[in-house]
Amino acid sequence: MAVITGKAPGKIILFGEHAVVYGQPAIAIPVAKVKAAAHVFPDFEFRTGEIHIQAGDIDMDTFLSELDPQHPLAAAVNLTLAELQLEHFPAFQVQISSSIPISAGMGSGAAISAAVIRGVSAFLGRPLPDSTVSALTYEVEKIHHGNPSGIDNNVIAYNKPVYYRRGQALQFLQIEKETHWVIGDTGEKTPTLDTVSDLGKRHADNPRYYDEIFQKIGGIAQGARRALIEADIKTLGQMLNENQVLLTKLNLSCASLDRLIQAALNAGAEGAKLSGGGRGGNMIALVSPSEMDPVEKALYNAGAVNVISTKLAREPQS
């Protein structure tokens, strides 16, 4: 049996983070330059059914049977096995690697889960469809951060730009004209669980104030949908800036994010905002191709620990 590899990309939210948890629409795109991979292969040393998990990035080298079932990697493997309902399977190893920054708003947890689910199911001869990869990844996400909206597992499992609203059918965006984005990492790591639960408490204390902001953010995501498809960068830039003002009102920005956002705008970006959980992690800027270089440099000069440029490409004509 050969090595089977399950892969999944990183992601970035363009519009609507946090408000999406409260039922507003949001837009996210996959980022192929960073990815998670799970290499799965037979482990001839062990008896049937033994599962060995290695994840060098987090110094893990253990057996599934020794992991807490609530550990996200154990949950991803166990959910896959339960879905496949196999009575017997050979002993195997799962080796996990990822180039997606952790706790930085790029979906590293969801991408690792999706890669493991894909790799293990394919190794066992029953590759799961994207819809099931997404559903199982969502179950693991619940362990990561309690009340996930469902946007991360969808954009990552389908590897397509999505317009997502809780409880409604997922929409894939058919991009007509490309846009260019620069992602700057503050290097500050704040788990999404923390910002989502902190906002949850503040919302519970003052629902009217927060619901009004969430609605405004949802309105921006709704308006941005068409602008993104058509690459109307002036409108998109303005909407990114408006979304950032509202995220700041939600107390989700911080000094390092503000500094990178301002640096990108000063260097000629069309618009910029934080992306994902906030209070650190990544920001994104929309740029025209000629602004890409100066914006990348400005972000490094302003203290970014890593900068990734990505293109949202036009859909190939079928």
Residues contributing to the site for ligand MEV (CB under 6 A): 13, 17-18, 20-21, 105, 148-149, 151-152, 192, 196, 276-277
**Hey, is 150 helix, strand or coil?**
coil
Amino acid (1-letter code) at residue 72 = P
Residue whose C-alpha is closest to residue 154's, from 146, 143, 163? 163
In angstroms and rounded to an integer, the radius of gyration of the C-alpha atoms of the chain is 20
Q: Rounded to the nearest whole angstrom, what is the least distance from the CB of residue 285 to ligand MEV in the complex? A: 18
CB of 192 to ligand MEV, least distance (A): 5
Q: How far apart are CA 163 and CA 158, in angstroms?
A: 12
CA distances to 202, 219, 250, 318 from 209, rounded to whole Å, are: 10, 16, 10, 46
Nearer to ligand MEV, 93 or 275 (CB): 275
Q: Which is nearer to ligand MEV, 23 or 127 (CB)?
A: 23
| Token duo for residue 145 | 């951060």
Residue with smaller CB distance to ligand MEV, 40 or 76: 76
User: Could you tell me the smallest distance in angstroms from the CB atom of residue 64 to ligand MEV?
Assistant: 27
Nearer to ligand MEV, 139 or 152 (CB): 152
Residue 12 CB, shortest distance to ligand MEV, in Å, is 9
Closer to ligand MEV by Cβ: residue 148 or 184: 148
183 neighbors 307 (Cβ within 8 angstroms): yes
User: How far is 90 from 67, CA to CA, in rounded Å?
Assistant: 19
Distance of closest approach, residue 7 Cβ to ligand MEV, in angstroms = 19
Element spanning 144, H or E: helix 130-145
**Residue nearer to ligand MEV on the CB measure, 13 or 292:** 13
Distance from C-alpha of 303 to C-alpha of 87, rounded to nearest angstrom: 53
Structure-token match 């929409």, residue found? 171
Residue 263 · residue 302 · CB < 8 Å:
yes
Structure tokens at 18: 């946090």
d(CA 56, CA 62) in angstroms, rounded, equals 11
Q: Which is nearer to ligand MEV, 21 or 115 (CB)?
A: 21
Cβ 92 to ligand MEV shortest distance, Å: 31
Cβ of residue 278: shortest distance to ligand MEV, in angstroms?
Answer: 7
For ligand MEV, give the closer residue by CB, 173 or 196.
196
The residue number whose beta carbon is nearest to ligand MEV equals 149
Any idea what the Cα angle at residue 82 is, between residues 74 and 116, rounded to 5°? Answer: 45
Closest approach, Cβ 16 to ligand MEV, in A, equals: 7
Tell me if residue 37 falls in helix, strand or coil: strand
